[in-house]
């Protein structure tokens, strides 16, 4: 909601931009960044009212930020690709019901595992389709690609087993010249000759498709007569005008090679799938290329009772894929559920004692802002924040306490709630930068209170 809001106030605009940047870069951490920035700004102005210059507060905040980033390196948890499920479940658990979060975690993990089995993970190669009218628990992953399209003719088969897929870019029709041209016919007998020549040209386009053994044809451009009739006679399932990004995904999933012209088609260019079929999905018709062997592109079919909630699931899935991509690049985690924030609070309180100047107060203020994140998390989980903080303090003597997905306070790793180290560091660094910018501006350009105009005052000078 914050990312889509249209604000006029400059500070609110900065908060929106902060959320957008964290969302775009990490896929998560926008709430942490915005809440921390707001707390730092609010507490910073409160400290400034007590007589501490904002420049000292900014200096203290910068020291606290550097210490926080350094301390996170000390409490990081090295992981492997097997921990991918933990970080996905942590993300979904903060947004959805536990059962729904668990099911969607399995779906996304299945998609990720299929791509990793093929040797790579590319979020662009995961197509997300969100449809209403069904339960969330009917969401699934397709070992291939589904595209919104339909078979070109009712005379063609709508389902093919053991599919051999040809992917062509060019238009299957008589080629148009690049420049305007006219053909003048002086005699009716030449009209038939012209039509026969056009048929020959189109047959030369279609013949390589039939000769290479393809039984499914997908094109980026159109398919016109007489090419259509020839494909019908050959019992080839044909679909036209598919977007290039979907064709690339289908090629990745099936192992096909996209060719510009049918003249380039050979048997080695064909992709394979256990089935290609036309099926309804929601109120639309889709072509399903399914059961591909070791696919390097897959589809997530997300379902929900209402379209609005289905769109929300689609947004969450896109963010999850970004999280997984970042995890694959740098699989280093920190304990979530408030564990890292409380550990930072305790460390900053000790670190502040190393300074004798006014920076000490700013560092302590930064620590209190970090503690406010734990209090907010406890409130959102239905816990009493005071009781939660005291329990955190008690359990922190022996380890890292955290609030798990069941809203219970446990010691890590029992809670299995984890977050990306890079995301956590990015949120803290970005929030501090925004807070320091606003505190600096506030010190140079203090807000001027505007006196309300009296109703009796005239509008003219």
- String of DSSP letters for 6-56: ---SHHHHHHHHHHHHHHHHHSS-HHHHHHHHHHHHHHHHHHHHTT--HHH
The answer on 389 and 287 residing in a single domain is no
In a domain, 138, yes or no: no
Q: Give Cα separations from 261 to 123, 170, 207, 250, 251 (angstroms).
A: 29, 6, 12, 18, 16
Q: Which residues are within 8 A (CB) of 29 and not within 5 positions of it... i.e. 6 or more apart?
A: 22, 419, 423, 424, 426, 427
Please report the pLDDT score of residue 120 as a whole number: 73
The answer on 54 and 150 residing in a single domain is no
How far is Cα 142 from Cα 240, in angstroms, rounded to an integer? 22
The neighbour count for residue 122, using CB atoms within 10 Å, is 14
> Please, what is the angle between helix 421-444 and helix 54-74, to 10°?
180
The answer on 240 and 166 residing in a single domain is yes
Please return the burial class of 191, using the count of CB atoms within 10 Å of its CB with bins 0-12, 13-18 and 19+. Answer: exposed
How far is Cα 92 from Cα 324, in angstroms, rounded to an integer? 13
Largest interatomic CA distance in the chain: 104
What letter does residue 447 receive in the DSSP assignment?
P
CB 139 within 8 A of CB 316: no
Q: What is the dihedral of CA 224, 230, 232, 237, to 10 degrees?
A: -70
How far is Cα 313 from Cα 222, in angstroms, rounded to an integer? 34
The answer on 68 and 150 residing in a single domain is no
CATH code assigned at 358: 1.10.560.10
Region for 382 from its dihedrals, namely left if φ exceeds 0, alpha if ψ lies in -120 to 50, beta otherwise: left
Run means of pLDDT, 10 residues per run, the chain, 461 residues: 65 85 87 93 91 91 95 86 84 89 92 78 90 92 94 93 94 63 64 60 86 94 86 93 94 94 92 94 92 91 93 93 88 89 94 90 95 92 88 84 81 80 94 91 56 54 46
- String of DSSP letters for 297-354: -EEEEEEESSHHHHHHHHHHHHHHHHHHHHHHH--EEEETTTHHHHHHHHHHHHHHTT
In a domain, 86, yes or no: no
How far is Cα 26 from Cα 50, in angstroms, rounded to an integer? 37
Please return the burial class of 215, using the count of CB atoms within 10 Å of its CB with bins 0-12, 13-18 and 19+. Answer: buried
The answer on 163 and 71 residing in a single domain is no
Helix (H) or strand (E) holding 418: strand 418-420
The answer on 167 and 226 residing in a single domain is yes
Please report the pLDDT score of residue 280 as a whole number: 92
- Residue 418's nearest CA partner among 74, 113, 83, 72 is 83
In a domain, 22, yes or no: yes
CB 166 within 8 A of CB 209: yes
In a domain, 113, yes or no: no
The answer on 208 and 160 residing in a single domain is yes
For Cα atoms 6, 7, 13, give the angle at the middle one, nearest 5 degrees. Answer: 115
Q: Which residues are within 8 A (CB) of 343 and not within 5 positions of it... i.e. 6 or more apart?
A: 71, 75, 335, 396, 400
In a domain, 99, yes or no: no
First to last CA, the chain: 43
The answer on 198 and 57 residing in a single domain is no
Among the candidates 294, 324, 352, a domain finishes at: 294
Please report the pLDDT score of residue 461 as a whole number: 46
CB 300 within 8 A of CB 111: yes
How far is Cα 456 from Cα 461, in angstroms, rounded to an integer? 13
The answer on 172 and 43 residing in a single domain is no
CATH code assigned at 238: 3.50.7.10
In a domain, 355, yes or no: yes
Please report the pLDDT score of residue 299 as a whole number: 95
Q: Print the domain residue range for 217.
A: 144-294
Please report the pLDDT score of residue 415 as a whole number: 65
The answer on 157 and 218 residing in a single domain is yes
> What are the beta bridge partners of residue 418?
335
The answer on 257 and 363 residing in a single domain is no
In a domain, 111, yes or no: no
Among the candidates 294, 325, 355, a domain finishes at: 294
The answer on 152 and 290 residing in a single domain is yes
Count of domains for the chain: 2
In a domain, 174, yes or no: yes
């Amino acid at each position: 909601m914050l990312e889509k809001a249209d604000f006029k106030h400059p500070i609110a605009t900065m908060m929106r931009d902060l959320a957008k940047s964290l969302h775009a870069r990490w896929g998560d951490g926008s709430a942490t960044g915005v809440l921390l920035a707001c707390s730092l700004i609010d507490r910073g102005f409160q400290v400034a009212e007590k007589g501490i210059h904002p420049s000292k507060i900014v200096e203290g905040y910068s020291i606290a930020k550097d210490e926080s980033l350094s301390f996170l390196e000390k409490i990081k948890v090295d992981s492997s690709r097997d921990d991918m499920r933990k970080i996905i479940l942590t993300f979904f658990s903060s947004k959805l019901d536990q059962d729904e979060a668990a099911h969607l975690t399995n779906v996304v993990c299945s998609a990720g595992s299929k791509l990793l089995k093929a040797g790579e993970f590319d979020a662009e190669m995961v197509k997300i389709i969100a449809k209403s009218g069904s339960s969330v628990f009917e969401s699934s992953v397709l070992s291939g690609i589904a595209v919104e399209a339909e078979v070109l003719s009712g005379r063609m088969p709508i389902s093919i087993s053991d599919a051999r897929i040809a992917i062509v870019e060019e238009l299957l029709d008589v080629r148009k010249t690049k420049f305007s041209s006219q053909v003048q016919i002086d005699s009716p007998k030449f009209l038939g000759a012209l039509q026969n020549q056009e048929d020959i040209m189109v047959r030369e386009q279609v013949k390589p498709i039939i000769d290479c053994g393809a039984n499914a044809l997908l094109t980026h451009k159109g398919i016109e007569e007489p090419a259509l009739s020839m494909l019908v006679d050959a019992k080839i399932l044909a679909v036209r005008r598919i977007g290039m990004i979907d064709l690339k995904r289908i090629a990745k999933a099936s192992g096909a090679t996209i060719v510009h012209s049918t003249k380039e088609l050979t048997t080695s260019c064909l992709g394979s799938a256990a089935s290609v079929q036309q099926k309804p999905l929601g109120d639309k018709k889709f072509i399903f290329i399914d059961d591909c062997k070791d696919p390097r592109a897959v589809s997530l079919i997300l379902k929900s009772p209402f379209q609005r909630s289905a769109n929300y699931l689609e947004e969450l899935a896109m963010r999850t894929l970004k999280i997984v991509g970042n995890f694959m690049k740098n699989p280093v985690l920190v304990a979530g559920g408030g564990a890292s924030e409380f550990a930072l609070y305790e460390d900053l309180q000790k670190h502040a004692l190393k300074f004798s100047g006014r920076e000490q107060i700013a560092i302590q203020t930064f620590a209190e802002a970090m503690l406010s994140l734990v209090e907010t998390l406890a409130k959102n989980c239905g816990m009493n924040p005071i009781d939660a903080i005291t329990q955190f303090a008690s359990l922190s003597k022996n380890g890292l306490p955290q609030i798990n997905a069941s809203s219970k306070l446990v010691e890590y790793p029992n809670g299995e709630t984890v977050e990306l180290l890079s995301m956590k560091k990015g949120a803290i660094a970005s929030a501090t930068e925004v807070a320091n910018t606003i505190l600096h501006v506030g010190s140079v350009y203090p807000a001027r209170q505007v006196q309300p105009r009296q109703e009796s005052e005239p509008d003219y000078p």
